[in-house]
Structure 1
Amino acid sequence: MARYGDSTRSVKAVGTQPIPGSPVASPPVPASTYHLSADEDPALDSYGRSSNPTWRQLESALAELEGAASALVFGSGMAAITAVLRVLARPGRKLVVPADGYYQVRQYAQEYLVPQGVTVVEATSAQMCELAADADVVLAETPTNPGLDVVDLHRLAMDCRSRGAVLVVDNTTATPLGQQPLSLGADLVVASATKTLSGHSDLIAGYVAGSHPDLMAAVERERLLAGPILGAFEAWLVLRSLGSAGLRFERQCQNAAALAMALRGHPRVRSVRYPGLPDDPSHAIASLQMRRFGGLIAVEFEDAAAVHRLVERSDLLIASTSFGGIHTSVDRRARWGDPVSPGFARISLGIEDADDLISDITAALG
């Protein structure tokens, strides 16, 4: 797969075995129960909370794209992350989580893990390698959501490996088409498939990928017992969307780079962050570990009212949270409690034509 481009990898990942008479696109299998065998073969499907053929096909595709031995799908990205943390962050252990990453991870760690006896340390991207020096488990997010800072994954992985610590990387913003943390030394990848991989703003899903059999088996056991499963139909929707992920992501990255360049000198824009900009603080490290720089840009406007005016005056922008869909969207992150200024906006680029987007947004800014 490594010899192929992103769109070819995406299409091949969701392909079925070329058996004459079989469908090219596999249908979903929405089953809760299955016929049991007389010999009670444990390899056969028995109950929908433990296994599903549509899951397996999606998991195989995700493992291919992440460069992993296996993957496990979950009902959401947070379900995937919290399952991993429940397995790894035991009482008495020290866990490092991103201080500048997705806010609900910090909330979960403080509200659930700390009362269980886990020592939780919040570290910014710049502090991650230093504060993770004596941690048992490190959860890194890169590029961070929403600030788009980048963690040096190779350095962090080498440090964790030297001490026997476990490194988990949230690969949601980069996607496996932009970055492969496992190849840089991470032990597990967690991600939301709600975003770019499914890409149509119509489902919630997450996954864990890795190549350590014991770790993956423990996470699978946690999924079985706790039950944060992905529905068969949602799994099928992700699967059918994956085939176009390479094409969509390429356009989103192109649009993000073009808009970042267009806004960086605009008088109504205070700052623009995008790892693909040559003068971005994260560019040097991002260039070493990312194949593409993603479809998100972080823009700081004067205040919250400026963000609202931009959306109101634009014909193409929509105001919505989440990201990675085909529509270009704006999310004022301070409303959710992120430690950012009131005028900070995360713009998720869709697949519209770049010239149309730039013309529309610059006109809306006035």
Structure 2
Amino acid sequence: MFSNKKRAKTLHLRGQDLSKGEPIAPPLVTSSMFHLPGDPAGHAGYGRVDNPTWEVLEHLLSHLEDAPCVAFPSGMAAISAALFATVKAGDRVLIPSDGYYVTRVLAQEFLSGLGVEIIEKRTLDYDLDDMSSYQVVFIETPSNPGLDLCDLAGVTARVRSAGGVSIVDNTTMTPLGQRPLDLGADIVVASDTKAPGGHSDLLMGHVATRDETLFGRVVSWRKMSGAIPGPQAAWLLHRGLETLDVRFDRMCQSALEIATAFEGHKNLISIRYPGLPDDPGHLIASQQMSTFGFLITMTLKNESAAERFISGCKFLRPATSFGGVHSSAERRARWGDDVPAGYVRLSVGCEPVSALLDDILNSLSSI
């Protein structure tokens, strides 16, 4: 898990290597060209390949992941890089049928057209599969939006023993809440648009791996595809990462308190939160996660009830995405997820939990 010493070092990673008079905050470098007389070897050459602001960000991301990292302009850019760096024609790729839907669309609409066979299974079924027939296995645990879990160490061990590559989307938990590389994953991908950025003002993602060959492939993909992050977003993400620890702790603690208060509520058909002792994923979550996250899912009786609940909360923003300092909620069926019409994904933010809980319970009780 992520030790307190590493948490403290996160705030001083850049500062410990500064020379006298250098700025503590990293400079924002927007240049596409660099002064490059003579032999260019070993020096920044062109903005599609080199950027000092990215380098500072990737240094911090690598500290958080304890692995080399490559920054991308969105979470889907990171997922695309990981898949295109590992998949070739003739491969069989396993994708979660209940995970983030855009990953499935990417696989079905683009990878399948390149001679890749796409297999979809529920996250819960990953624990039952021997993984021997896949060259690449994409894992998302907890799944988004259902919050189902699989045994990361067990699944990645079976993938590796069969000679495959495992890719884990760790967006919902961040490196502070779950450590897929320590549990055997070959590659981690994440949308840093969510909790790492935290303020709903940037799009970013990253890929992390301890495998030198895979790392080189991901770097090459970014260079050749042009899927590069903007320096402004990279600078904002670096700033966001410095407060991730305190925000993530507040969000997760609040989520546990809110989920506990939801149990047995007359207007809820069901609730999912891995921190609840009777949640189906609680045992696995307790073993492989250092906290239970900030996402709660709940099912109300129908679409109208769900929309009234969301609109009735002063301290909930009706918006897609999650992980911001502002609590937010949305009815996921509107995007085509295979969930009931009254299914709501709630992202708990950084508001004082007493005020947030009162607001949510008042709205829930009034529908």
> When the two structures are superposed, what TM-score results if normalisation uses the length of structure 1?
0.97
Change in 2 beyond 3 A, CA 1:109/1:301: same
Matched, 1:279 2:291: no
1:96 Cα deviation from its structure 2 partner: 0.4
Deviation per residue, 1:70-125 (Å, 9 max, x gap): 10000100011011111212110010011111000001100001111101111111
Counterpart residue identity of residue 245, structure 1:
L
User: Which segment drifts farther, 29-38 or 202-211?
Assistant: 29-38
Deviation per residue, 1:27-68 (Å, 9 max, x gap): 211111111131221x21111111111111111111111121
Aligned residue for 2:325? 326
Secondary structure at 2:89's aligned position in 1? Answer: coil
Secondary structure at 2:118's aligned position in 1? Answer: strand
Counterpart residue identity of residue 116, structure 1:
L
Aligned residue for 2:228? 229
Aligned residue for 1:205? 204
1:2 Cα deviation from its structure 2 partner: 4.8
Partner Cα separation in structure 2 for residue 362 and residue 287 of structure 1? 27
1:19 Cα deviation from its structure 2 partner: 2.1
Aligned residue for 2:27? 27
Secondary structure at 2:190's aligned position in 1? Answer: strand
Change in 2 beyond 3 A, CA 1:322/1:10: farther
Deviation per residue, 1:180-214 (Å, 9 max, x gap): 10000000100000000000001100100011111
Counterpart residue identity of residue 218, structure 1:
R
Change in 2 beyond 3 A, CA 1:4/1:188: same
Aligned residue for 1:101? 99
1:24 Cα deviation from its structure 2 partner: 1.1
Change in 2 beyond 3 A, CA 1:13/1:193: farther
Partner Cα separation in structure 2 for residue 265 and residue 10 of structure 1? 40
Partner Cα separation in structure 1 for residue 100 and residue 196 of structure 2? 18
> When the two structures are superposed, what TM-score results if normalisation uses the length of structure 2?
0.96
1:12 Cα deviation from its structure 2 partner: 3.5
Aligned residue for 2:88? 90
Counterpart residue identity of residue 73, structure 2:
G
| Two-structure CA RMSD over aligned residues (Å) | 1.4
For residues 243-262 of structure 1, what are the structure 2 equivalents within 5 Å? Answer: 243-262=242-261
Q: Percent identity between the aligned chains? A: 44
Partner Cα separation in structure 2 for residue 119 and residue 73 of structure 1? 28
1:6 Cα deviation from its structure 2 partner: 7.1
Matched, 1:79 2:77: yes
Q: Which has the higher contact order (CA 8 A, sep 6+)?
A: 1
Partner Cα separation in structure 1 for residue 13 and residue 359 of structure 2? 36
Matched, 1:342 2:341: yes
Change in 2 beyond 3 A, CA 1:359/1:2: closer
Partner Cα separation in structure 1 for residue 183 and residue 14 of structure 2? 25
Counterpart residue identity of residue 157, structure 1:
T
Asked if the contact 1:7/1:247 (under 8 Å) is kept, the reply is no
Partner Cα separation in structure 2 for residue 246 and residue 6 of structure 1? 11
Change in 2 beyond 3 A, CA 1:362/1:342: same
Secondary structure at 2:70's aligned position in 1? Answer: strand
The gaps in structure 1 that reach 5 residues or longer are: none
Asked if the contact 2:123/2:148 (under 8 Å) is kept, the reply is yes
1:356 Cα deviation from its structure 2 partner: 0.7
For residues 28-177 of structure 1, what are the structure 2 equivalents within 5 Å? Answer: 28-41=28-41, 43-68=42-67, 70-131=68-129, 132-177=131-176
1:151 Cα deviation from its structure 2 partner: 1.6
Partner Cα separation in structure 2 for residue 9 and residue 283 of structure 1? 31
Counterpart residue identity of residue 103, structure 2:
V
Counterpart residue identity of residue 60, structure 1:
H
Secondary structure at 2:81's aligned position in 1? Answer: helix
Instruction: State how many pairs are aligned.
Output: 364
Asked if the contact 2:320/2:329 (under 8 Å) is kept, the reply is yes
Structure 1 stretches of 4+ with a deviation exceeding 6 A read: none
Aligned residue for 1:307? 306
Partner Cα separation in structure 2 for residue 287 and residue 63 of structure 1? 25
